[in-house]
Structure 1
Amino acid sequence: MATAQGQVVSNRVVTIPNALSFLRLLLVPVFAVLIVQRQDGWALLVLAVSGASDYLDGHLARRWNQVTRLGQVLDPFADRLYILTTLLGLGYRGLVPWWLVVVLVARDLTMVATLPVLARLGHSALPVHFLGKAGTFCLLYAFPLLLLGQVSTTLALPAGALGWAFALWGTGLYWWAGILYVQQVAQLWRAERR
């Protein structure tokens, strides 16, 4: 199997990009504890390390020709887990409204609901759409910025404004990509029934 860029996707498990994705997953509970305990500086550091490793694992996978099926699952799973954990932590702390948590979780639940249909059609997942990547990018920048507003009184206003801009754009793009994804699943379903 090959990616859209023509790279071969392997079944390898032990690669540096996969190790970075796994490390990111291990940091999720660390981040959760830090944000609940209001250790915002440390939580922000964990988010920064996670964001850097998210970029690095994809870059290295493509550069070193180490794109793997496992990596294609681990990377977006880690992204979703960070988004969910951050949302719940910020919601618990009252830093984001619960409606935002519900809207973003509902989108991910919508995507999960398509998995049985895809499995029945013989697909494990569909290629990630650019809008989905852009939405995830916005959300992964929004939450650290909102948290930065709690750490620094000097940066509270600009970090908060930028954080909310990224959060709202990210939410819109996230749902737009989700709708396109559901449409793709529906097209596959109709093609199969024909």
Structure 2
Amino acid sequence: MRLNIHTLIHPTIQKLAYEIIYQKSHKKLQDTDNEKTLGMLIFYEILRKCLKIDNIYIKKVDVLKERRLLNELNKYLIIANLIECHNMLADIQRILPESDLKHIDFNNIHNTFYCNEKLQEYKIIIFDKFLKNYGIIEIINYLQKNNQINLNHVKIICLTCNNNILKYLAKKHPQLNIYTTKIN
């Protein structure tokens, strides 16, 4: 079975991702803005088909008001290294107001990841800026074994991802959905 890899090819996403991937070591305000914009665009692109908006009409005596509300039946848990990705996740509450964030250090997975929530209630998004170490595999294994998570409800988002990690995930967990801008 093949892994579901989705390459985000929108020109704006590609341009901003390129600038972030190959940016110089000094941070500028523009880089922070680029990361915020890219984070919003990536989450919009990935979730636009599965988010449901309900139209509500409120009729008063002489006025009809219309409201659009996000269907809150779907809960989202975003697992990410919040220290590295805080800029990209800064405005996520605008798209997913009922989402929860969980910090994880992908480089030191043994000491940082434990989740006591009922994860079966959540759709899980794992966000790693540069998917280059095998910590993601330990998270997936943990979610599947300890929480009996349906991996069809797990989305992995990264700017770049390592080809070797993708090969491993394709063998062990082909039902995963991975969204990226570039494969190394």
> TM-score under structure 1 normalisation?
0.29
The structure whose residues are more often helix, as a share, is 1
